Amino acid sequence: MIEQPFITTLRLLLRPFVLTDAPGVQTLAGDKSIASTTLNIPHPYENSVAEKWIASQAKNFAAGSSVTFAVSHRNDNMLMGAISLEISRKHRHAEMGYWIGKPYWNQGYCTESAMALLQYGFDILDLQRIFAHHLTRNPASGRVMQKIGMVHEGCLRKHVLKWNVFEDLEVYGLLQGEWKSLPDIIENMWYE
Ligand SMILES: CC(C)(COP(=O)(O)OP(=O)(O)OC[C@H]1O[C@@H](n2cnc3c(N)ncnc32)[C@H](O)[C@@H]1OP(=O)(O)O)[C@@H](O)C(=O)NCCC(=O)NCCS
């Protein structure tokens, strides 16, 4: 069986979650500002939700249906967030999703993680397309998608019902060929 890899970038270690991360996940993902702009994170974040989520990840990785990495600082392994790919082997595409704990926002950590995940998805998983979406009212996430070279593909109007409000969703995507032709300077920013 293939083991989920560890990925090292300039500042980060992307690694599989372990059960001892659960309290950290509950604290960081439990902040309302994380639930507010994501579609699958509950609020309040009850006890045992993090444990169940972490426990599901190895099974999903083994099945090839998703891969989830803990975003941690490579110097001290401190947990800062999560990033994942939901994979369709049939279509060789995947949807990227991520959150970074509020104390760590706007330091480039999500962008650095997402660049690494693009490389993993295209080079290791041999995906044809990686896409992502964000609520229109969440421009920070859109900025991450732009910074990693994704192309804005459109707006799905009133596509999701979030906390009783129908909201617009912006869709971004990147093809393997486009990834390979991104300037080296972008890729090299995130690796040793
Ligand atoms: C979206 C999120 C993951 C970004 O994480 P991050 O580590 O802060 O991202 P980065 O630092 O790599 O990049 C953030 C960019 O957004 C910009 N930004 C922040 N707030 C912004 C705003 N209100 N409007 C426009 N741009 C904004 C930052 O300036 C930065 O861009 P820059 O480098 O060009 O200056 C984080 O805010 C988060 O976890 N939010 C809650 C969960 C969520 O929304 N997840 C995504 C669901 S689609």
Report the CATH number at residue 24: 3.40.630.30
Q: With a cut of 90, say whether residue 2 has pLDDT above it.
A: no
Residue 110 — φ and ψ, nearest 5°? -65, -45
**Separation of 37 CA from ligand 1 center, angstroms?**
11
CA 60 distance to own-chain centroid: 15
Atom of ligand 1 nearest to the CA of 113: 12
CA 127 to chain centre: 16
Q: Is residue 1 part of a domain?
A: no
Domain-embedded: residue 24? yes
Contact (CB, 8 A) for 42 and 35: yes
93-100, strands of its sheet edge to edge:
7-8, 12-15, 66-73, 79-88, 93-100, 129-135, 165-175, 151-162
Residue range of the domain that includes 107: 7-188
* Residue 108 or 188, more confident: 108
Q: List pLDDT tens digits, range 41-98.
A: 999 999 999 999 999 999 999 999 999 999 999 999 999 999 999 999 999 999 999 9
Our answer on whether the CB atom of 144 is closer than 6 Å to any ligand 1 atom is yes
| Residue 1, pLDDT score | 76
8 lines ligand 1 (CB under 6 A): no
Is the residue at 68 inside a domain?
yes
For the chain, how many structural domains are there in total? 1
Query: Measuring CA to CA, how many Å separate 152 from each of 27, 100, 144, 148, 177?
Result: 32, 22, 12, 12, 16
The length of the chain is 192
Over residues 160-191, the pLDDT tens digits come to: 999 999 999 999 999 999 999 987 655 555 55
The preferred substitution site among 95, 99, 147, 148 for testing ligand 1, maximizing ligand atoms within 8 Å of CB, is: 99
Q: Residue 147 CA: which ligand 1 atom is closest? A: 34
In a domain, 2, yes or no: no
**In testing the pocket of ligand 1, which one of 43, 100, 113, 171 has its CB within 8 Å of the most ligand atoms?**
100
Q: Tens digit of pLDDT for each residue in 119-137?
A: 999 999 999 999 999 999 9
What is the residue with the minimal CA distance to atom 1 of ligand 1? Answer: 141
With tokens 């790919």, the residue in question is 85
Helix and strand numbers (H, E) in the chain are 7, 8
Strand (E) or helix (H) holding 63: helix 49-63
Q: Is 143 inside a domain boundary? A: yes
The response to whether residue 34 sits with its C-beta less than 6 Å from ligand 1 reads yes
Residue 46 belongs to a domain: yes
CB contact set of 177 (below 8 Å; sequence gap of 6+): none
Q: What pLDDT score was predicted for residue 182? A: 84
Report yes or no on 78 lying in a domain: yes
Nearest protein Cα to ligand 1, atom 16 = 140
Alpha-carbon distance of 136 to 84, in angstroms, equals: 21
39 close to ligand 1 (CB < 6 Angstrom): no
| Tokens matching residue 178 | 């486009």
